[in-house]
Every structure is written in structure tokens, then in C-alpha cells.
């Protein structure tokens, strides 16, 4: 190994020899500057020296020293994680550690951070917390290494969430966190937590391959529904391959799937569930032609048919077994919902009624099924005249024809 002693208190050793022949580099203290209890190398300026090395600091007088790293040359040091500083020893005031690549390294007294587990009984009893470096993270676990924290369900091993824990900056405090899941939904509430990443990933099991939706303000699984405020959906195709990124509540959220889970990343809170947004379409016989029974003219006293097509987040048409629809009319004022009847032939809800006055009247429908709720409103046009325009036109032409024939015959007879 090639040893480069710099100062009386610092030694840097590189494995083998570093060949600088023909590089044209000027290795100055601006680029490579180990000093007392500090070792710095500008890996961009002299990249041929950006190799693993062993750093030794002499005269280190402190309790439980630990290697620290300045990731961005900003002057702020963090505890160096074990994957970057894999070996450390402290004997007779001499502190030695390995580095896998170069930036700015130093040594600091070990001020141990701890993991504070959620105090919510349901969360703490139903979920495991595991660090990518520290392993299991029961409440009070001591560590200084920044690492990924993975949350999984205890009984099933189902993945729930990953988030970065910055133990090098202080205690990772999840005391106020709550986590809840159902078969097809996941909800995370990280309000009041500290020293974790600003965004996290949550996982929803892939079951029906219908896609996934995200509720940006949901804190509990009971608040995760396909018609929640601000809901954003991905169909299954959009989650394939490298996934698709959409804006959810100000976050750039990307969704992928690995066949087992939808991976929803970039969230700052919220919950997600498998399925698509609930859909409710309503119309009546007087709406423009193109839908079932539509394109008709209805008069005062005639029966009008109203229809509602409600599809829940499982993409299943709702029926009287798993839900229902109700209808209300402003004739002239809304006076309460009435049940619509499900037609299994057409797979729609239907309702019939007559009107005693003409005009454009408002009506609305509210549907629910399997926890999904949707509402919609429309207008119906009632015509006052009992004369059908087509009949009136033909009657007028026939009358004019009779008059014309009568006048011709009258002229012929007068000449005789």
C-alpha cells in the first residue's frame, strides 16, 4: 500500500501505487489536504485518486470517536454509514477507518441517536420496523447511521412503507405515526415525526390488476376511497415498466408495480388503494339521443324514465346487493330522496315519474356501494303542447291540398 503521511496526526494509505504519469494533474492542497483530524480529497479535480483508502488520525482524545463525512463539501458533517466507512478501530488515541471513495472526512465524539417507535397501540402491535443497517428497530434502538426504514405487517410480512431515517442528525422520532391497512388499501400518517425523509414510499398489494388511486389527505385507511378529495388514479398499464409520474397534492408521485405490489413513491403523506375512481353517469329520456331510452320528447302528464349507471372502485356495476342509488327532484324544490330500482338486464338504476308543469327541471342522484359514494345532477325538459310537431306539419300540408283541390273543382263547375 502507498502511504501518504500528511501532518503529524493524519495518515492516508491507498492500496497499491497511484500512477500519475501523463495525467497532467497538479495535486495541491486545494485538491488533497489531510490535516489534523481531517482528510479531504477533491474527487472531481483529481479523480484518479478517488479510490478506497485507510485514514488514520493520531492524538484523538474523545470518548467513543466515530468517523463523520461531509457529503457535499458544505462544512456539515454526518455520521459516516458503515457501507462508506466499513472498518473503524480506536486504540491508544489512534483512530483508523476505511473509506470506499473520497470527499471530506473527519472524526467526532459519538453522540448516539435512538429510534422512537410509534406509541399508537395498533401501529406498534401490528407492524415491524427494520433498518437497512441496524436491522430490527425496537423502541430505543441506538444507531448513528442514516438508513432506510422498512415497515411490514407482522403477521403476513406484507410491505407497507419505506422511509429514510436520518439518525446522524438526531433521534428518529415516529412516536406520533399511525399506520393502517386493509386487503387493498394502505394509509400512513407521519404528522409530528422528525428526522425522516420528506417523502416516502407506500405499497399496495396487486390483486385485481385494476390500477391504483391515491388520496393525498387520507390519514387512516377508513379515509381511503376512490372518490376522496383530490384523488388521482393510475390504470394498471400506467404502473407497468418504469411507471408513470403524476402530481398529487403538490407532490410528484410515481407508481410502478412488480407484480406483487404497487410502489407509490414521492408521497409526503396520504394513503392509496387498488381500483379506479368511482364513476356515476345519469341521464333521462329527454337528453340527446345516444344513450339507452334517450332522445325523446315528454309532455305534461307523460311518464319520464330516469337512469343512473354507477360503477364502484372495483369496476363493478353497483346493484341492490352491494349498494344502491337514490333520486331527488326540484319540482319546484328538492323534497327528499327516493330509491331507484336496479334493472339487471341493462345494469342501471331506473326511476319513473310524471310532471304537472312544463319547463326545465333539476334532478340529482346519490349512489353508494362497498364504501364508495358518488353524486351527480342533471336537468329534464318537459314540453307543454300536446301537438307533436311532425303531425302538425303533415296535417297542415293535407289541409292546403284539400283547399287547392276544392278551388280547382269550383272553377271547373262555374264555367258550365
Residue 409 DSSP symbol: H
Residues facing residue 273 across a β-bridge: 185, 213
Residues 206 and 130 in one domain: yes
Question: What separation, in Å, do the N-terminal and C-terminal C-alpha atoms of the chain show?
Answer: 140
Helix (H, G, I), strand (E, B) or coil at 220: coil
Question: Residue 211, Cβ neighbours under 10 Å: how many?
Answer: 22
Residue 54's closest CA among 98, 19, 90, 101?
Answer: 98
Cell of 224: 381511503
Q: Are residues 294 and 322 in the same domain?
A: yes
121 and 103 share one domain: no
Q: Which pLDDT does position 30 carry in this prediction?
A: 61
Residue 241 DSSP SS3? coil
Residue 44, burial from CB neighbour count under 10 angstroms (0-12, 13-18, 19+): exposed
Looking at the structure, do residues 349 and 392 belong to the same domain, yes or no?
Answer: no
CB 264 within 8 A of CB 272: yes
Q: What is the DSSP letter of 122?
A: H
The total number of structural domains in the chain stands at 4
Query: Strand pairing of 159-165 and 147-153?
Result: antiparallel
User: Which of 274, 302, 334 is a domain's end point?
Assistant: 274
Q: Among 109, 144, 167, identify where a domain stops.
A: 109
Q: In whole angstroms, what is the distance from residue 295 CA to residue 149 CA?
A: 59
**Residue 131 and residue 265 in one domain:** yes
Whole-structure pTM value: 0.51
CB atoms within 10 A of CB 46: 19
The Cβ of residue 384 has, within 10 Å, a number of other Cβ atoms equal to: 9
Three-state secondary structure call for residue 79: strand
Please tell me the total number of residues recorded for the chain in this structure: 416
List, in sequence order, the alpha helices (H) in 148-307.
none
Same domain for 132 and 229?
yes
Cα separation of 258 and 260, whole Å? 5
Specify whether 124 is located in the same domain as 268.
yes
Of the residues 235, 256, 274, which one is the last residue of a structural domain? 274
CB 49 within 8 A of CB 18: yes
Residues 132 and 193 in one domain: yes
Cα 266 from Cα 251, distance rounded (Å) = 7
Cα gap 357→299, rounded to integer Å? 9
Domain of 323: which CATH number?
2.60.40.1930
Give, for 391, the enclosing helix (H) or strand (E). Answer: helix 389-415
Contact in structure between 259 and 265 (CB atoms under 8 Å): no
Residue 8: CB atoms within 10 A of its CB come to 9
Least Cα distance to 270 among 181, 187, 209 occurs for: 187
Same domain, 28 and 56: yes
pLDDT in tens, the chain (416 residues): 444 444 457 888 887 777 666 555 666 666 666 777 888 888 787 888 888 899 998 888 876 788 888 887 777 788 787 778 877 788 888 889 999 888 888 888 766 788 999 999 999 999 999 999 889 998 888 787 889 999 999 999 999 999 999 987 788 999 999 999 999 999 999 999 999 998 999 999 999 888 999 999 999 999 998 778 888 889 899 999 999 999 998 899 999 999 999 999 999 877 887 776 677 889 999 999 889 999 999 999 999 999 999 876 555 566 666 678 999 999 889 999 999 999 988 889 999 999 999 999 999 999 887 667 788 999 999 999 754 444 444 444 555 554 444 544 444 434 33
Residue 414: count other Cβ atoms within 10 Å of its Cβ: 7
237 and 340 within one domain: no
Residue 32 grid cell: 488533497
**CA–CA dist 202, 261 (Å, integer):** 9
pLDDT number for residue 408? 46
Whether residues 17 and 160 share a domain: the answer is no
Q: What whole-number distance in Å separates Cα of residue 127 and Cα of residue 163?
A: 14
Q: Which residues of 305-314 are buried (b: 16+ CB within 10 A; e: fewer)?
A: bbbbbbbbbb
Which set of grid coordinates corresponds to residue 398?
293535407
Q: Are residues 145 and 265 in the same domain?
A: yes
Which residues are registered as beta bridge partners of 262?
A: 204, 257
Domain span at residue 286 reads: 279-383
Amino acid at each position: 500500500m502507498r502511504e501518504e503521511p500528511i501532518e503529524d496526526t493524519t495518515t492516508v494509505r491507498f492500496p497499491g501505487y497511484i500512477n500519475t504519469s501523463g495525467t497532467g494533474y497538479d495535486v495541491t492542497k486545494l485538491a488533497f489536504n489531510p490535516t489534523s483530524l481531517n482528510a479531504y480529497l477533491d474527487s472531481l479535480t483529481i479523480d484518479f485518486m478517488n479510490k478506497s483508502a485507510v485514514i488514520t488520525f493520531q492524538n484523538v482524545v474523545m470518548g467513543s470517536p466515530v468517523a463523520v463525512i461531509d457529503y457535499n463539501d458544505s462544512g456539515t458533517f454526518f455520521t459516516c454509514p458503515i457501507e462508506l466507512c466499513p472498518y473503524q478501530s480506536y486504540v491508544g488515541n489512534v483512530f483508523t477507518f476505511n473509506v470506499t471513495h473520497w470527499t471530506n472526512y473527519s472524526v467526532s465524539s459519538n453522540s448516539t441517536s435512538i429510534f422512537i417507535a410509534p406509541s399508537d397501540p395498533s401501529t406498534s402491535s401490528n407492524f415491524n420496523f427494520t433498518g437497512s443497517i441496524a436491522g430490527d428497530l425496537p423502541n430505543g434502538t441506538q444507531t448513528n447511521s442514516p438508513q432506510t426504514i422498512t415497515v411490514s405487517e407482522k403477521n403476513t410480512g406484507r410491505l407497507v412503507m419505506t422511509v429514510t431515517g436520518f439518525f446522524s442528525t438526531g433521534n428518529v422520532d415516529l412516536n406520533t405515526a399511525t399506520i393502517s391497512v386493509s386487503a387493498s388499501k394502505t394509509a400512513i400518517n407521519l404528522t409530528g415525526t422528525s428526522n425522516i425523509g420528506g417523502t416516502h414510499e407506500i405499497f399496495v398489494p396487486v390483486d385485481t390488476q385494476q390500477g391504483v388511486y391515491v388520496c393525498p389527505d387520507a390519514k387512516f385507511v377508513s379515509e381511503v376511497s376512490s372518490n376522496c378529495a383530490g384523488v388521482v388514479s393510475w390504470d394498471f398499464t400506467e404502473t407497468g415498466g418504469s411507471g408513470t409520474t403524476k402530481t398529487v397534492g403538490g407532490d410528484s408521485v410515481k407508481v410502478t408495480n412488480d407484480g406483487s405490489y404497487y410502489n407509490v413513491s414521492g408521497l409526503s403523506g396520504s394513503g392509496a388503494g387498488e381500483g379506479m375512481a368511482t364513476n356515476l353517469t345519469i341521464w333521462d329520456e329527454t337528453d340527446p339521443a345516444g344513450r339507452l331510452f334517450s332522445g325523446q320528447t315528454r309532455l305534461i302528464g307523460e311518464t319520464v324514465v330516469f337512469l343512473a349507471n354507477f360503477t364502484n372502485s372495483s369496476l363493478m356495476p353497483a346493484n341492490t346487493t352491494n349498494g344502491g342509488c337514490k333520486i331527488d327532484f326540484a319540482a319546484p324544490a328538492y323534497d327528499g330522496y327516493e330509491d331507484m330500482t336496479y334493472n339487471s338486464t341493462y345494469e342501471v338504476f331506473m326511476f319513473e315519474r310524471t310532471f304537472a308543469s312544463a319547463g326545465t327541471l333539476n334532478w340529482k342522484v346519490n349512489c353508494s356501494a362497498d364504501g364508495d359514494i358518488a353524486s351527480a345532477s342533471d336537468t329534464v325538459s318537459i314540453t307543454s303542447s300536446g301537438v307533436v310537431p311532425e303531425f302538425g306539419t303533415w296535417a297542415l300540408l293535407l289541409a292546403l291540398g284539400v283547399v287547392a283541390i276544392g278551388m280547382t273543382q269550383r272553377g271547373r263547375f262555374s264555367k258550365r
